[in-house]
Amino acid sequence: MNDFHHAFEAGRGVIPLRTVPREERERTRRHLLRLGFRLIRPGWYAGPGADAATVAAVAAGGTLSCIQALSSDGVWHPPNVQGLHVRFLRAQPLPPHVIDHRIPGPRQPLVSAVDLPVTALACAIKCLPMADAVAVCDSVLRLHVLEPHEVMDALRLAGKPGARVKPAIDPSADSGIESHLRVMLRSLGIRHRTQVMIRDVGRTDTLIGDRLVVEADGMEYHSGEHASADRRRDMRLHQLGFLVFRFSYWQILSQQDEVKATIRAALRAREHRWSARNCLWRRMGLPDPVLGEYRSEAVRRWFAIQ
């Protein structure tokens, strides 16, 4: 019975009767029907209030996968993902809105209505654009949804897309949008440091050169205490002589050309370097405010296996 309840929870209200011993399946089937469960595919039943996407995936003949399977763990969800992401064991005719996920090599059996995280992550790496895939991997590691060796397993399952994504993974990012910013800077060949600690300020998202601080604001930004605290941080950074660029969630996702042009202009003007004109902390007789990079346990564990 414990296996039955685990399958019900893991499947978001959808269960396969294969989780029940063969001799008990008929009795269990009748019991489920009395409880209001309904048959959605031979051997698969959905309970009242079952997750609609999961029901649709199972009814289509597969299991819910990709980022939709990871969402219940709080993993960062790219904003432009559309359709129903389903993993199938074989090719079959599908409605236009269903995205077919199949993994090459040995078949990963459909053991649950929702894919296990390693398989779901492999599907996401194959499915999503590079920056989104990196952001999802960062999030999975940061939230401890998977251990580093399990992420490595997912990268191997994903094949060539996994090989492209692996070098860019860094769970130091606090959000998916920070991962996007880092991937963008990496694509431009701009050397930078992430999660840099600055005296009297705390952690900053990204530091380019000596003094160019680039902050990526999440979707929930620009209201209440968060905005006030960030303005105070920016003011202190300016007092020390740092140059601060603060980009919104949608600027980084949808206006990258403008973001790139802004950063490149600062680099061409060498505004990312300390000079006698802008090194205000030195004029005040203060020590170097850059204390180094903060590295969480998740970051240390990931890079330990590289």
The mean pLDDT of the chain is 91
119, 150, 168 - which closes a domain:
168
Based on the fold, state whether residues 66 and 147 are members of the same structural domain.
yes
Does a structural domain hold residue 240? yes
Q: What does residue 144 show for φ and ψ, rounded to 5 degrees? A: 60, 30
Q: Which pLDDT band holds residue 33 (cuts at 50, 70, 90)? A: very high
For residue 209, give both structure tokens. 């050169």
What is the reported pLDDT for 130?
96
For residue 93, give both structure tokens. 């005719």
Our measurement of the distance from residue 171's CA atom to the centroid of its chain's CA atoms, rounded to an integer in Å, reads 9
Tell me which residue of 54, 216, 56 sits closest to 135, measured CA to CA.
Answer: 216
The 10s digit of each residue's pLDDT in 64-81 is 999 999 988 889 999 989
Count how many domains the chain has: 2
Distance of alpha carbon 161 from alpha carbon 127, whole angstroms: 9
Based on the fold, state whether residues 67 and 146 are members of the same structural domain.
yes
What is the reported pLDDT for 91?
80
Distance of alpha carbon 13 from alpha carbon 181, whole angstroms: 37
Residue 221 has pLDDT above 90, yes or no: no
CB 123 within 8 A of CB 87: yes
Distance of alpha carbon 112 from alpha carbon 16, whole angstroms: 7
Q: What does residue 212 show for φ and ψ, rounded to 5 degrees? A: -90, 105
The 10s digit of each residue's pLDDT in 180-210 is 999 999 999 999 999 999 999 999 999 999 9
What is the reported pLDDT for 105?
64
CB 102 within 8 A of CB 88: yes
Residue 6 has pLDDT above 80, yes or no: no
Based on the fold, state whether residues 122 and 141 are members of the same structural domain.
yes
As to burial, measured by CB atoms within 10 angstroms (0-12 exposed, 13-18 middle, 19+ buried), residue 34 is exposed
168, 199, 230 - which closes a domain:
168
212 beta partners: 208, 243
The 10s digit of each residue's pLDDT in 246-264 is 999 999 999 999 999 999 9
Based on the fold, state whether residues 159 and 210 are members of the same structural domain.
no
The 10s digit of each residue's pLDDT in 77-107 is 999 899 999 999 888 888 889 999 987 666 6
What is the reported pLDDT for 144?
95
Domain housing 118: 51-168
Based on the fold, state whether residues 143 and 205 are members of the same structural domain.
no
Residue 224 has pLDDT above 70, yes or no: no
Q: Which amino acid is at 306?
A: Q
| Region 29-53 average pLDDT | 93
Residue 25 has pLDDT above 70, yes or no: yes
What is the reported pLDDT for 4?
67
109, 143, 168 - which closes a domain:
168
List, as one string, the DSSP characters of 217-252.
Answer: --TT-SSHHHHHHHHHHHHHHHHHT-EEEEE-HHHH
Does a structural domain hold residue 183? yes
Q: Determine what percent of the chain is predicted with pLDDT higher than 90.
A: 76
Based on the fold, state whether residues 208 and 150 are members of the same structural domain.
no
What is the reported pLDDT for 95?
83
CATH number at residue 261: 3.40.960.10
